[in-house]
Structure 1
């Protein structure tokens, strides 16, 4: 599933389910853009600290992957360190 559909699926799963989305006042595009912007804000804040060593940057990358996963995207087997 592509990232757009993954994000939209996660957001819509959290909505009250009705046959028709009568109360949904924004489009699917606006929902995804809003969630992406929030994720980018979190990622940017993680990247702004320039005083970290390599091991600390690895931890930042882990947090960025977590933010993307929270959008509903599967990071695949490349993130399976366990």
Structure 2
């Protein structure tokens, strides 16, 4: 649930929303699924991008980490470059 709450907080902050949660769990689940599917689509686009052709895929990995960070979830301890 921590992951979902952090993602929801990021979405709300980015949209400039005032914090007043009045939706049921079903609505929250729908919003979370939509955002997750959006991130997966973005990651698929990165994987399909022929311009990111470095042999060790550094640019692809970096772009995927950026997508994760844009969701407000951080890059973790491995993203210090």
| Counterpart secondary structure, 2:72 | coil
User: Which is greater in Rg?
Assistant: 1
* Structure 1 gap segments, 5+ residues each: none
* Structure 2 gap segments, 5+ residues each: none
Q: Normalized against structure 2, the TM-score is what?
A: 0.74
4+ residue stretches of structure 1 with deviation over 6 A?
A: none
Bigger RCO of structures 1 and 2 (CA < 8 A, at least 6 apart): 1
Residues 18-76 of structure 1: per-residue CA shift (max 9 Å, x gap)? 54548xxx811111111111111010011124682324x11110000000111110122
- Quote the RMSD (CA, aligned, Å): 2.6
Question: Within 2, Cα distance between the matches of 1:18 and 1:9?
Answer: 9
- 1:16 — aligned with what? 17
Q: Normalized against structure 1, the TM-score is what?
A: 0.73
Deviates more, 1:69-78 or 1:37-46: 69-78
